[in-house]
Structure 1
Amino acid sequence: MSERMQLAGLASGFDWKSVVDQLINLERAPQRRMRTQQATHTAQIDALGKISGNLESLRTASTALLNNSLFNARKVGFSQSGLGWSATAGADSLPGSLTLNVTQLATASSRTSQSSVSGTAGTAATLIADLRLAQPISDGSFTVNGQAIEVDGSQTLGEVLDAISTATGGVVTGSYDPVADRVTLASSNGQLELGQAGDTTNFLSALRLQQSAVQPDGGGGLTVTSGNTLGRIDLSAPIESSGLAGGLSGAGHFLVNGVRIDFDASTDSLRAVMDRVNASNAGARLSYDSAGDRFILSNTQTGEFALPVSDGEGTFIAALGLGGGAALTSGQNARLSVNGGIEQEHSSNTFDASLLGAPGLSVTATSVGQQEISVSNDTAGLKKAVENFVEKYNAAQSHIESQIRIDISNSDNVTSGTLARNGEITSLNRNLRAAVFQAVPDADEAFRRLESLGIDFVSGSSRLEIKDPARLDQALAENPESVRQLFQAPQTGLLARITSLVNNSVGPGKSLNAQQDRLNARNREIDQQIDNMERRLTRQRQAMEAAFIQMEIAQSNIQRQLQALQSNLQMPTT
């Protein structure tokens, strides 16, 4: 019966369900006020969190200005940029200038093979793929006198040269001289055109055959010969099979600048031994010039230093052509003079303070010449740090001002910021302003306020502005130490004040965090109160619904009794 009576007013015609909803909704009015209070708390927590973040950024910007290298940075200028010199100036460098004249650059001693060190590229019977060349020949086609010739690695060199003759009807013939290690093409009719844009193989360039080298043969024909010997060593193959003209086998060692270098021709490649020399303590570098087919050994240190080499066991040095027959270039010292003084010599092209007479200055010359070198304060990094400090300070103050503002319109409407009645935040705003406004007694008299740097407050606000950029640039360039004292003076400097304020406001247990903790705790309490109230309202709804259901049941019973009585009264008599 009770389930049927859940349809409000079924018996009574009275919509008691909506009455219960309205009564419960009225009872929830305190909950809505609590939710509004929670929303206010949450907005305050968010505002406090953003203030904390802005203060953290301000502290980071302040910390950056504690870096003394910003105030001691130096830059070097040259009167002639075209000479390609470079220089560095340390913190101990003093602003000023000097004239440096370099009349000779320092060079390193070197040994160079005087003749080709490679054997021949092969023979006419050698497969194209097996020719030992500076660049491998790719498969494809090339043209001679407009006629295409196909080439692939499975052909021999002689076969390809014969194919040239066939393609040109015997007009152009080719030959390979294994002694001279060169290829020659000869034309009998005065026409010898090598290659065209559509060629797909590097056959002609790999054999060093160039159109510009075509010459008359004196008999009405034309001829062209490889511009250099063709054979090149294989740096990656074992030494004994690398193609060295003199050949080399077995294990042994050699000396460079008195340092022993071991090798094994059966397992080591030339590249591996070159790397071993270059990584050793010999102070030398070994390289291979594939264009000239020669090895070059040079000291890594410039100056008048000898470069002694010798074979110990084996003939490695001789095989590379770096022994007695090598071309020896003796290293030389650099020659320089400062401010027209006496000429000095130095083994390096980098000149330090001992030569220049300028503490902290180092100059590297890459060419001879004379120019004026100036050292000045490098303010770029410092200016950026000051601008960043102003930016972060303004970000913090702008947000604080927006949160504590109280605006009254002409119609007397009051608009308040989220933290308008927060005395701690209002005090923080005043204290931050005072921190950058008050004079620094421990700084130089002329630089005790930010105003001396061309920085002042925006009218009607707590935000800073660089009002005179030229004054800031001048202060940073001419008085970096005074600027440093303004910011860094212990206890009284701008950074000490700002850092103290931030440290007292941000962090576990500090004022802003404590306020957020209290607001979060209050919101949790409100959640608990709302939950308790909701449970009470649930019970109240159930009681009200039960009472109305009983009313419906009683009303239904009365209606049935009334209907029965009326029915009996209307029955006819017998």
Structure 2
Amino acid sequence: MSGSASIGGLASGLDTVSIVNQLMQLEAVPQSRMQTRVSTEQRAVNAMQTLNSRLASLATTAADLAKPTAWSKLTATSSLKDVTVTVGASAAAGAFSVQVDRTALSHRLEHASAVGYDAPGTVPTSVRIDRLDGTVAQDLTTDGTLRGLVTAINDPANKTGLRATAVRVGADASGQDQFRLVVESVATGASSDFTLRDAADGTSPILGGASTRVGRDAQVTVGGGIVATSATNTFKDLVPGVDITLGAAATGLADIELKLDPAATIRSVKSAVDAINSVLTEIDSLTSYNPATKAKGMLAGDSSVRELRGRLLDTVFPTDGTSLSTLGIQTDKNGRLVLDEAKLSEAYKADPDAVQRRLTADGTGFLDRVAEVATAASDKATGTLTQAITGRTSTIERLNDGIEAWDLRLELRRTALTRQFTALETALSQMNSQSSWLAGQISSLASSSGS
């Protein structure tokens, strides 16, 4: 706004402030049009960004499903409930038997002497954990009580790899509760063995010595006589891509079967079809036009978006002239994809490799072509939709620069108009003053003549 003083209407009686404001409204019409276009362009950019996100998600979904690992979907069954099977991506269909010879056990010591839990001097103040695998022994400091030893063994900071429990076994003659110490390795396997001794001499047993349950590895026999062992009850990659886990009570012969899972494959294909239809629905909404109401979508005039819809639908028509309808995939009258899950399941069971090729083959497979179309539109650097967003964003920036320039131009125009009307009022005021003076002079002359 101008710093010039305004004396609107003082001499003329006109509301010059209102006149200036109305003139400024007319001057600001071009700027208002630019602001309206910025708002429209921004809504279009927002719509394109939403569509671009859907396309990027579709590209990822289709590309992932086109990978060979996505089709290695197997279900695993075991004839023993205590033998479970986990299938990885590298597993292949097949069957084999597993005889459970033994499960893995931890190393455990059950000490002979029963003592009071807080009775002092019942255990050494320094107890040595001697691991029998040749590693360096570990000395624990205690307060000379069973409680102190249990606490030291179980303290995470000591990282003993053991767990200790005091088990109440009765009371002595004076009625004091008596406890025996049980210590067990956290890990299972033959290498989990250890002893507890008085650290003072490194040889004397504590608490009257202990009976020992020796740790052991789990063992299974696969097929006719292939023996496998594991320090835990899980056999990693017992066969490529297949882990076998034994329950604590597992025993006997387990028949393992790995077979293709058509249901999982159908779910994957359906997820891709649903993602494509989601994009098509979004495009239809953005490019729609209702002749009756004249209502139209945000991108109704954008031919590139309509062309993108056509390219997505064209992916269902293989370039080799075959039809995906034999796999249950086709278009309906509304321009959407439909999936006949029963037909796809039947085709997959009959020839899974052929179905996989028709859906995933480089350049010709349905999912590969969907990924190609979606990526061509949404790629962060070269995508057609991405570039359109960039172009519209640049237009918005230019318009905002123009709007800012108009702010200065309008401010200068308001200052000029204000000065003009102020000058007018000043001139009229001076003229009114001169008119009053002249009238007074004439009146004086008339009076003089009459006398």
Judged with a 3 Å threshold, the aligned counterparts in structure 2 of structure 1 residues 545 and 290 are, in CA distance, closer, same or farther, namely: same
Q: Give the secondary structure class of the aligned counterpart of 1:318.
A: coil
Q: How does 1:82-481 map to 2 (within 5 A)?
A: 83-97=81-95, 102=100, 105-106=102-103, 108=105, 112-113=109-110, 116-119=112-115, 121=116, 132=117, 243-244=122-123, 248=124, 256=132, 261=137, 263=139, 270=149, 287-288=164-165, 290-291=167-168, 293-295=180-182, 314=201, 316=203, 318-322=205-209, 326=211, 347=229, 360-366=241-247, 367-370=250-253, 372-378=255-261, 385-409=268-292, 414-434=294-314, 436-439=315-318, 441=320, 449=324, 451-461=325-335, 463-465=336-338, 467-472=339-344, 481=353
Letter in 2 for 1:93: A
**Contact 1:51–1:396, Cα closer than 8 Å, also in 2:** yes
The residue type equivalent to 2:281 in the other structure is S
Q: How many residues align?
A: 423
Deviation at residue 512 of structure 1 after TM alignment:
1.9
CA distance in 1, matches of 2:12, 2:154: 110
Q: Residue 69 of structure 2 contacts residue 89 of structure 2 at CA under 8 Å; is this kept in 1?
A: yes
SS at match of 1:406: coil
Structure 1 residues 107, 351: closer, same or farther in 2, change over 3 A? closer
Contact 2:129 2:195 in 1 (8 A): no
Is 2:396 the counterpart of 1:520? yes
Letter matched to residue 243 of structure 1? T
Quickly say closer, same or farther: Cα 1:564–1:456, change in 2 above 3 A: farther
Return 5+ residue gaps in structure 1 as ranges. 122-131, 134-230, 232-240
Report the CA distance between 1:321 and its aligned residue: 4.5
Look up the equivalent residue of 1:290 and give its one-letter code.
V
Whether the 8 Å CA contact 1:253–1:316 is kept in 2: the answer is no
* CA separation of 1:243 and 1:495: change in aligned 2, threshold 3 A: same
Structure 1 residue 408: deviation in Å?
Answer: 0.9
SS at the partner of 1:407? coil
Task: Provide the residue aligned with 2:176 in structure 1.
Answer: none
* Structure-2-length-normalised TM-score: 0.71
Residues 13 and 424 of structure 1, relative CA distance in 2, 3 Å threshold: same
Identity fraction in percent: 19
In structure 1, the partner of 2:175 is none
Q: Which structure carries more relative contact order (alpha carbon 8 Å, separation 6+)? A: 2
Which amino acid in 2 is paired with 1:548?
A: L
TM-score normalised by the chain length of structure 1: 0.58
Give the letter for the 2:392 counterpart.
Answer: Q
Q: Deviations over 1:305-358 (max 9, x none)?
A: 9979798983646335447xx3667969757675xxx5776555556787xxx6
Q: Deviations over 1:2-24 (max 9, x none)?
A: x998232x444455554444444
Aligned partners of 1:279, 1:408: CA distance in 2, in Å?
A: 76
- 1:375 is paired with a residue of what secondary structure? strand
Partner of 1:6: 7
Question: RMSD of the alignment, in Å?
Answer: 4.8
Distance 1:253 1:20 in 2: 96
Distance 2:430 2:107 in 1: 122
Q: Distance in 1 between matches of 2:407 and 2:205?
A: 97
Note the C-alpha offset of 1:31.
3.2
Match of 1:57 in 2: 57
CA–CA distance in structure 2, aligned partners of residues 250 and 418 of structure 1: 79
Rate the CA distance shift 1:21–1:73 in 2: closer, same or farther, 3 A: same
Instruction: Specify the alignment match of 1:545 in structure 2.
Output: 421
Gaps of 5+ in 2: 170-179
Does the Cα contact within 8 Å between 2:8 and 2:16 map onto a contact in 1? no
**393-402 vs 267-276, which deviates more?**
267-276
Return the alpha-carbon distance in structure 2 between the equivalents of residues 534 and 26 of structure 1. 11
Indicate if the aligned counterparts of 1:70 and 1:379 stay in contact, CA closer than 8 A. no
